[in-house]
Amino acid sequence: MKLQDVHKEDFEREIFRLKKIDLDALIARGPFMVNVCPACKSKDAVHKFDKDGFHYLECDVCQTLFVSPVPTDEAKEWYLENSGYLRYWREQMPAEVRASRNKAVYSKRAQSLAAIADKYQVSFKRILEIGGGMGEMSVFIDQELTYDEYLIVEPQPITSQYPKVKIINSTIENLMLNEQVDLVLAYELIEHITDPDILLNIILSNLVPGGFFILSTPGSGGFDIKVLEEKARAIGYDHVSLYNVNSLKLLLERHGFEIVEISTPGTLDVQMVKQAYDKKEIRYDNIALNFLMESNEEYRDALQEYLKNNLLSSHLMCIARKSS
Ligand SMILES: [Zn+2]
């Protein structure tokens, strides 16, 4: 996958402009609260960098990167309701960008689910996706798996056009399904959550014993985040908790999940650094980095492969199970 498949530049420019207006309003309004490490709850952390007026701290114990002070839930709700940037994102995303994102992202996820079902000899009959929009991914899963129901939790009274999708009108905090599911999906969600304890307990209580929980999130130990720091795409006001391989394990095990697999199947780290390098957004005094960025693409591809295979990409993916 190439970076250009996911983001169109004009659309991004307008998003950037609107986001700046929204963030200035959020910072002026507040309120904020002091935060602790979301993975291990330690209060000991060092300041790493600032972005858009937010401070990013790294936990001394488990190296999770988190925002503190962080907007309170009330401030976040206000932001979600009033953000011009999010409205633009929902309503104005060019059709070709949306189609390209859907195809590139959802089909890969669906294929990966089929591979997991095959590898662990399990069938996923009832699937719950948290943060799943209108259930768009079900179309892609239809092509890969046989399943009965695809549940989406959504506080707003919406309906879905997809036949197997069932919308559960509830907030996550109050979710209590009549029948437990055998797979919970949470793609690119946990980084938005200040305190993940409630979310993980809810997932656990709605999952059958032995059921799977699959999540992806930007990992703070990944190459592009290490090199680009606050200039990394994954560093943004709404990504308040960025785990690494070890701290994500620690968090899930603390809640009673067993880790089945943890991987970093990322394909974009080196391209993101190269893009920042070409735009002169990063310093040029690192000889090794200069060498790599000026070398042939095949060397950069080889580095990406190395990152992927050694848990060093910032695209973190975890397969966990509820203990039987
Ligand atoms: Zn920690």
pLDDT band at 1 (very low <50, low <70, confident <90, very high): very low
Q: 57 alpha carbon to ligand 1 midpoint, in Å?
A: 10
pLDDT tens figures, 268-314: 999 999 999 999 888 767 888 899 999 999 999 999 999 999 999 99
Closest residue by Cα to residue 241 from 189, 203, 204, 199: 189
* Model pLDDT, residue 89: 81
Number of neighbouring beta carbons within 10 Å of residue 21: 12
Ligand 1 centre and the CA of 264: distance in Å? 20
Contact assessment for residue 66 and residue 242, using Cβ atoms and an 8 Å cutoff: yes
CA of 171 to the centre of ligand 1 (A): 27
Q: How far away, in angstroms, is 34 Cα from ligand 1 center?
A: 15
**Cα 221 to middle of ligand 1, angstroms:** 13
pLDDT in tens, 63-118: 999 999 999 989 988 998 899 988 888 787 777 777 777 788 899 999 999 999 99
Cα 9 to ligand 1 centroid, rounded to whole Å: 36
Residue 273 structure tokens: 């650094």
Q: Give 219 Cα–ligand 1 centroid separation in angstroms.
A: 14
Cα(247) to centroid(ligand 1), Å: 7
Over 60: is that where the pLDDT of 6 sits? Answer: no
Tokens representing 230?
A: 């606050």
Interacting residues of 98 by C-beta distance below 8 A, sequence separation 6+:
none
Ligand 1 midpoint to CA 117 (Å) = 32
Burial class (CB in 10 A: 0-12, 13-18, 19+), 238: middle
200/202 Cα distance (integer angstroms): 5
pLDDT tier at 237 (50, 70, 90 boundaries)? confident
Give residue 38 CA to ligand 1 midpoint distance, Å: 7
Under 8 Å between Cβ of 12 and 93: no
How long, in residues, is the chain?
A: 324
125 or 92, which is more confident: 125
Ligand 1: centre distance to CA 236 (Å)? 20
* 50 alpha carbon – ligand 1 mean position (Å): 19
Burial 169-187 (b: 16+ CB within 10 A, else e): eeebeebebeeebbbbbbb
Kindly list the distances between the CA atom of residue 297 and the CA atoms of 271, 273, 287, 304, in Å, as whole numbers in the listed order.
10, 13, 17, 11
CA of 185 to the centre of ligand 1 (A): 24
pLDDT at position 281, please? 87
How far away, in angstroms, is 72 Cα from ligand 1 center? Answer: 20
- Measured in Å, residue 313 CA sits from the centre of ligand 1 at 20
DSSP state, 230?
Answer: G
State the pLDDT at residue 75: 94
- Average confidence (pLDDT) over 220-235: 94
Residue 5 reports pLDDT greater than 60: no
198 alpha carbon to ligand 1 midpoint, in Å?
17
- 195 C-alpha to center of ligand 1: Å? 12
HEC sequence for 68-111: CCEECHHHHHHHHHHCHHHHHHHHHCCHHHHHHHHHHHHHHHHH
* C-alpha 37 – ligand 1 centre gap (Å): 5
- Which pLDDT belongs to residue 162? 86
Q: How many angstroms is it from 321 CA to the middle of ligand 1?
A: 22
Alpha helices in the chain (DSSP H): 3-6, 9-29, 73-82, 84-92, 95-101, 107-119, 137-142, 197-205, 223-228, 245-254, 269-278, 287-294, 297-309
pLDDT interval class at 7 (50, 70, 90) = low
CA of 147 to the centre of ligand 1 (A): 38
CA of residue 246 to ligand 1 center, whole Å? 10
**How crowded is residue 275: how many other Cβ atoms within 10 Å of its Cβ?**
16
Is the per-residue pLDDT at 2 higher than 70? no
Q: pLDDT tens-digit profile of 159-218?
A: 888 888 999 988 888 898 989 999 999 999 999 999 999 999 999 999 999 999 999 999
Prediction pTM value: 0.91
